[in-house]
A and B are shown apart, each in its own frame.
Chain A
Amino acid sequence: MKLIVAVLKPFKLDDVKEGLKALGIHGLTLTEAQGFGRQRGHTEVYRGAEYEVEFVPKIRLEVLVDDSRVEEVVSAIVETAGTGKIGDGKVWILPVEEVVRVRTGERGTEAL
Chain B
Amino acid sequence: MLAAVTQVPYPSWLNTGDNTWQLVAATFVGLMSLPALAVLYASLVQKKWAVNVVAMMFAGFSLVMIAWFLWSYKMGFGANSFGGGVKNGVPTQLTGVGGWTHFIDNFVGKPGSITSSAGEQGQAVSAANTVIPFHFPTSTLAYFQFVFAAITPLLFMGSVLGRIKFSAWCLLVPLWSTCVYSVDAFLLWGGGYFAQEGALDFSGGYVIHMSAGVSGFVAAWVLGPRLLRDRQHAIPNNLVMAAVGAGILWLGWNGFNGGDPYYAGADAAAAVVNTNLATAAGVLTWIALDAWLSKEKKPTFLGGVNGMICGLVGITPCAGWVNGQGAIAIGVICCAVVWVAWNFLSKVRPFSKVDDALGVVYTHGIAGLFGGLLLGFFGDPNMLEYGCGRLDPSNQVVATTQQTYITATAHCTPFSVNGLIYTGSAHQLWEQFRAAVWVVFWSALVTFILMKLIGLVLRGARYKDEVLEVGDLAIHGEEAFPEATLAERVGAFSMAGDSVSSSSRRPDEPLPPNEPNEPGS
Give chain A's interface residues, CB within 8 Å of chain B.
43-51
A45 to B301, CA, bound (A): 10
The docked-state distance in angstroms from the alpha carbon of A48 to that of B342 is 8
| Residue contact B295 to A44, C-beta cutoff 8 Å | no
Flag if A48 contacts B234 (CB, 8 Å).
no
| A45 near B300: Cβ-Cβ < 8 Å | yes
Q: Which residue numbers of B lie inside 8 Å of A, CB to CB?
A: 44, 234-236, 294-296, 298, 300, 302-303, 306, 342-343, 359
CB-nearest residue of chain B to A43: B296
Kindly list chain B residues whose C-beta atoms are within 8 Å of the C-beta of A45: 294, 296, 298, 300
Q: Which residues of B contact A48 (CB under 8 A)?
A: 294, 303, 342-343
Are B295 and A46 closer than 8 Å at their CB atoms?
no
Apart from A46-B302, A47-B236, 6 more pairs, CB < 8 Å: A46-B234, A46-B300, A47-B306, A47-B359, A48-B343, A51-B235
Chain A residues near B359 (CB-CB < 8 A): 47
In the complex, what residues of A have CB within 8 A of residue B303's CB? 47-48
Could you tell me the distance in whole angstroms from the C-beta of B351 to the nearest C-beta in chain A? Answer: 13
A9–B396 Cα gap in the complex (Å)? 74
5 contacts between A and B (CB under 8 A): A43-B296, A46-B235, A46-B302, A47-B300, A47-B302
- Secondary structure of the B contact surface, majority rule: loop
Query: From B342, which residue of chain A is reached at the shortest CB distance?
Result: A48
The answer to whether B234 and A49 touch across the interface, beta carbons within 8 angstroms, is yes
> CB-nearest residue of chain B relative to A49?
B234
Name the A residues within 8 Å of B342 (CB-CB).
Answer: 48
- Asked if residues A50 and B236 are in contact (CB atoms below 8 Å), the reply is no
Q: Which residues of B contact A47 (CB under 8 A)?
A: 44, 236, 300, 302-303, 306, 359
Q: CA–CA, A9 to B383, complex, Å?
A: 59
Flag if B302 contacts A50 (CB, 8 Å): no
> A2 → chain B, closest Cβ, in Å?
31
Q: In the bound complex, how far is the Cα of B295 from the Cα of A46, in angstroms?
A: 13
> B78 to nearest A CB, angstroms?
40
Question: In whole angstroms, what is the CA distance A87 to B234 when docked?
Answer: 27
Give chain B nearest CB distance to A110 CB in angstroms: 31
Give the residue name and chain of the A residue nearest to B302 (CB): A47
Residue of A nearest to B296 (CB): A45
- A49 contacts across to B, CB distance below 8 A: 234
Chain B residue at smallest Cβ distance from A53: B235
The list of the 6 closest CB pairs from A to B, nearest first, reads A45-B296, A47-B302, A46-B235, A48-B342, A46-B302, A45-B300
Closest to B301 in A: A46
Give the distance in Å from the alpha carbon of A31 to the alpha carbon of B50 in the complex.
27
Pick the residue among B235, B294, B306 that contacts A44 (CB under 8 A): B235
Q: How far is the CB of A53 from chain B (nearest CB, A)?
A: 9
| Complex-state Cα separation, A37 to B239, whole angstroms | 28
A21 to B306, CA, bound (A): 49
- B294: which A residues are within 8 A, CB to CB? 45, 48
CA distance A51 to B46 in the complex (A): 14
CB-defined contacts of A50 to chain B, threshold 8 Å:
295-296
Residues of B close to A43: CB separation below 8 A: 296
User: Could you tell me the distance between the alpha carbons of A44 and B234 in the complex, rounded to whole angstroms?
Assistant: 12
Question: How distant is the Cα of A49 from the Cα of B44 in the complex, in angstroms?
Answer: 13
Tell me which residues across on chain A come within 8 A of B302, comparing CB atoms: 46-47
- Complex Cα distance, B306 from A104, in Å, reads 59
**Once the chains are docked, how many angstroms separate the CA of A107 from the CA of B303?**
58
Residues of B within 8 A of A51 (CB): 235
Nearest CB in chain B: distance from A44 CB, A: 7
Q: Complex: how many Å from CA A50 to CA B306?
A: 16
User: How far in angstroms is the closest Cβ of chain B from A41?
Assistant: 13
Task: Tell me the nearest residue of chain A to B358, going by C-beta.
Answer: A47
Residues of A within 8 Å of B298, CB to CB, are: 45
Min CB gap B360→A, angstroms: 12
Q: Bound complex: CA of A27 vs CA of B295, how far in Å? A: 47
Set of chain A residues within 8 Å of B343, measured between Cβ atoms: 48
Bound Cα distance A48, B338 (Å): 12
A44: chain B residues at CB < 8 Å are: 235
- Tell me the minimal C-beta distance from B133 to chain A in angstroms: 46
**A51–B235 alpha-carbon span in the complex (Å):** 8
Q: How far is the CA of A48 from the CA of B296 in the complex (A)?
A: 9
Measured between alpha carbons, how far is A51 from B236 in the docked complex, in Å? 11
Q: How far is the CA of A45 from the CA of B306 in the complex (A)?
A: 14
Q: How far is the CA of A48 from the CA of B236 in the complex (A)?
A: 12
A48 to chain B, nearest CB (A): 6
Q: Which residues of A contact B44 (CB under 8 A)?
A: 47
Residue of B nearest to A45 (CB): B296
Cα A44 to Cα B235 in complex, Å, equals 9
Q: Are A46 and B236 in contact (CB under 8 A)?
A: yes
Nearest-neighbour CB distance to chain A for B521, whole angstroms, equals 34
CB distance from A72 to the nearest CB of B (A): 37
A42 to chain B, nearest CB (A): 11
Q: Which of A46, A49, A50 has the most CB of B within 10 A?
A: A46
